[in-house]
Amino acid sequence: MKIRDDNTIAAIATPIGEGAIAVIRVSGAEAIRVSDRVFVGKKKLNDIEANAVQFGKVFDATGRLLDEVLATVFKAPHSYTGEDSVEISCHGGVYVANQILEELLAAGARQADPGEYTKRAFLNGKMDLSQAEAVADLIQARSEKAHWASVGQLEGKLSEYVGLLRSELLRLCALLELELDFSEEGIEVVERANVKKGIDQVQAAVDRMIASYAVGKHYRDGVSVVFAGRPNAGKSSIFNALLKENRAIVSPSPGTTRDYIEEAVVLGGVLFRMIDTAGLHEATELVEAEGVKRAKSKVVESDIVVVVVDAAESLSRADALKALEGLKPVEEVIIAYNKIDLHPDLLPQSIEFSFNGIQGTEVFVSAKTGAGLDLLTTCLMESVADESGVGPMDFRITSRRHCDVCDRVTQSLSRALSSLNSGMTNEFIALDVRQAIDALSEITGEITSEDILDVIFKEFCIGK
């Protein structure tokens, strides 16, 4: 696959705004010559060594000084994109960075598309597709776990794992196809039991990848936690206590919260998106009814529901879970019995339960005194720490695309095993194994359509 054109591209690589410096990136066959048309230093950039920095000035078309800058030259293939590249570091003002970019565009460069630098790095063989996707994840990482997952993928841990699986399937496929050449002589090149064993081993490894996505997606996207329950149970109070700020309005009057409020907090290295909602009840007033409707919508979309109950109102598990009837029958649920400070006989504790197909935990807390909030925090963190089935892997699948590919690999291998067990000839088995190999190849980009690349790289920021 080739770059869509051989134009030299340019873009501001740093966030727009005021800062100490801004960096404008130029990449392509004419990157150095284009930069030389606007940069004036002791030497032409084309004449300095690779990986060298030179001080100089940038002028506009009228000869007016725009800024004093530093220009760093990278020569192919030893650059991020694998092409000749120049990075111009100027003072970090919005106007000056844009003016320098405009001069570079007038000098022959084209405005870079979102993610085009990384796309060129992929197309020029500087990284595979999974590593390119990790670049975007690394930029967007907002927690320790998200950073860990993206760095591991950027280092090639996922690529290495996928490569081993592909190699094993290629070996099995080669043996199956080789045996076809000796079919008339009745020579068996590979025992079918060994083929089954090999496919089973690859499938077990793919199963671990799929299992890791349950955790990995939370590392990447965060965990949505919705506080639900009847009015005046203390949802907003617990919400504020976990955030350690008075974000939601708290009042003794029921129905204070009319709309949902969302804030982020990092717990145990994982980003949690906390969502406070209106109380779930039969509302008659129009605005209040809309708030209840939105609260129910957030419950359905959530990863974890924290049902907040006034400890004085009811200690019945069934009553507490009535708030979720018809909304979220089998999901991660925490029942938080609040206001235990008003009941000396109730102590902070957490109890796991299973009720009508719902697995969850009951926690006794006081938003007012803070009692039991550490237990609630622990429950939230443990809810995304279950890595059963993942096994000894030093990476986690974080992309829905990768998980979908693994599902397709599973389907192909399942068909191969079915053909094997039913005694079909090797060409049918080999065909399904080949399809599994092709699917795995999509993760690293060895087989990838232009449409998939467009979808992936349009999610990047301009300049990366």
pLDDT digits (tens, 9 = 90+) for 200-232: 999 999 999 999 998 899 999 999 998 888 877
Residue with tokens 């993610």: 115
Specify the pairing of strand 358-364 against strand 332-338.
parallel
In the chain, % of residues over pLDDT 90: 54
The pLDDT value recorded for residue 70 is: 97
The pLDDT value recorded for residue 27 is: 97
In the chain, % of residues over pLDDT 70: 86
The pLDDT value recorded for residue 1 is: 44
- Per-chain mean pLDDT for the chain: 86
The pLDDT of residue 81 is above 80:
yes
Strands (E) in 50-121, as ranges, are: 52-59, 65-74, 85-92, 110-111
DSSP for residue 124 = T
The pLDDT of residue 288 is above 90:
no
Rg (CA), the chain: 29
Instruction: Give span(s): CATH 1.20.120.430, the chain.
Output: 138-218+396-457
Best CATH choice for the domain 9-116 from the list 3.30.2130.10, 3.30.1360.120, 3.40.47.10, 1.20.1260.10: 3.30.1360.120
The pLDDT value recorded for residue 310 is: 87
pLDDT digits (tens, 9 = 90+) for 239-277: 888 988 766 445 454 554 556 788 899 998 999 999 888
Is the peptide bond between 77 and the residue preceding it cis, with omega within 30 degrees of 0? yes
Question: Which amino acid, 29?
Answer: A
The pLDDT of residue 2 is above 60:
no
What tokens were used for 284? 């008659």
Question: Which amino acid, 129?
Answer: L
Instruction: Give span(s): CATH 3.40.50.300, the chain.
Output: 220-383
Rounded Cα distance, 37 and 103, in Å: 9
Q: What is the CATH number of domain 220-383?
A: 3.40.50.300
DSSP string, 319-381: HHHGGGTTT-SSSEEEEEEE-GGG-TT----EEEEEETTEEEEEEE--TTT-TTHHHHHHHHH
Confidence class for position 451, pLDDT limits 50, 70, 90: confident
Q: What is the CATH number of domain 138-218+396-457?
A: 1.20.120.430
Give which of 417, 383, 403, 335 is closest to 162, Cα–Cα.
403
Does residue 315 or residue 264 have the better pLDDT?
264
CB 444 within 8 A of CB 452: no
pLDDT digits (tens, 9 = 90+) for 321-337: 776 766 655 457 899 99
250: how many CB neighbours lie within 10 A of its CB? 16
- Could you give the angle at which helices 157-181 and 144-154 cross, rounded to 10 degrees? 40
